Structure formats: structure tokens, C-alpha cells
Amino acid sequence: MRFGFDIDDTLIDLRGHALSIYNRKLKKEIEASALQQLNTLEIHSLYDLTDDEGFKMWNQHQEEIFFTNCKAFPGALELLQKLAAMGHEIFYITARDADYCQQTKAWMKQFGFPIEEGHFFCGMKDHEKVNIIKDLQLDYYVDDKPQILHTLKETKVTCFLKDQSYNQEACDWERIKDWQVYLRNIDQ
């Protein structure tokens, strides 16, 4: 089978990692639990920043957010390793800027994610992911953004939505709340 995954906030907890960096930079102590109440992907409103200030904050610290010690969601890394070991093909499709492509790939590899040559795609806009996913003829695709999964509605790809506080209104896809459940299921 051919499995495709978004990276940020699907496999790794980038939003939670950004929160810890913002806390340090802005000398605040916003609890991680505050993210569960927030219905936006962007976190700057927790710091009373305007959208413009939030945009600048993100851009200024983007590299640190991307390439330091962000954690994978429990079970995600192990599940992908297991799928690869079982002979399935794993593809990564991330909207991270093309300038960050090689560094992101290297960071993911170092983390232990199984990455084959030619299986890593970066730098497309959200609405362009559909073209890559169609070309790859994926069987399964997982993303945290419902708007991306919507673009795949006319395809044969079976989509899953990574459960997040900002996508609670979407109800068209099975939600992945806990990667460990899927890990246990394929172990059986």
C-alpha cells in the first residue's frame, strides 16, 4: 500500500513546540492545555499578538521552530517505521517552503522517520497538494487540515484527519486521535 502523510501537526507536534519557544521568547507561561481551547492553527492570539505581529513572530523564529527538538506525536514514528518494515511505501507531502526541503528531510531522517529517495515533497501550496497526491496514486493520506482533504474528495484516496482543536467542525473523515491505537491495530 502507498501511505502519504502531512508532517506538521499531523506527525509532529509543531504547534506545541512553537508554544514552548514563544513562551521562552516572550517570557510567558502559557500552558500547553490552552492549545486545546484554541480554534485556530496559529497560536499568536494566546500572546495577544495581532495577526500581523503573529506572522512576524512566526517568520522570525521559523527555523528554530522547524529544526530544534519538536516531538512526534506518540506512536507516529513507530507506526511509520512499522509500515515501512512491512513493505508499505511511505510518502511525505509538506507545504513547508522549498528552501527548507533538504533540511526538513534531513531532520526527519535523523529523527528516524523512514524516507526513501523520491518520497519527500515540499514547497507546494495547500491546494496544490492534491496534484502530487493524485500523481502518487496513494491509497491513504493523513493531514490535519480539512481544506486539503476536501480537495481529495473526487479521488480514490482514503483520507484521515489528524484530530486537532482547530478542525473539530469537520466530520467527513475518520479522525486520528491517537497514533498508538493504529500502531496497536497493525501489530495484531
Q: Is 126 a catalytic residue?
A: no
* Residue with Cβ nearer Mg ion (9 or 13): 9
List interacting residues with Mg ion (CB under 5 A): 6, 8-10, 144
The least CB distance from residue 14 to Mg ion, in Å, is: 8
Closest distance of CB 85 from Mg ion, Å: 25
Nearer to Mg ion, 44 or 143 (CB): 143
Q: What is d(CA 170, CA 147) in angstroms, rounded to the nearest whole number?
A: 9
Rounded Cα distance, 71 and 66, in Å: 11
Torsion of CA 119, 125, 128, 129, to 10 degrees: 40
| Long-range contact set of residues 29-37: C-beta below 8 Å, sequence gap at least 24 | 35/165, 36/165, 37/165
Cβ contact 2:137 at 8 Å: yes
CB 22, min distance to Mg ion, A: 18
Minimum distance from residue 156 beta carbon to Mg ion (Å): 22
**Cβ nearer to Mg ion, comparing 26 with 178:** 178
Q: Closest approach of Cβ 113 to Mg ion, in Å?
A: 15
Between β-strands 140-143 and 158-162, what pairing exists: parallel, antiparallel or unpaired? parallel
- Residue 26 or residue 123: which is nearer to Mg ion going by CB? 123
For Mg ion, the closer of residues 114 and 146 by Cβ is 146
Q: Is 99 a catalytic residue?
A: no
Q: Which cell is 18 given?
A: 512553537
Q: Which residue has the cell 491495530?
A: 185
| Grid cell at residue 169 | 467542525
Q: Is 100 exposed, middle or buried (0-12, 13-18, 19+ CB in 10 A)?
A: middle
By annotation, the residues acting in catalysis are: 6, 8
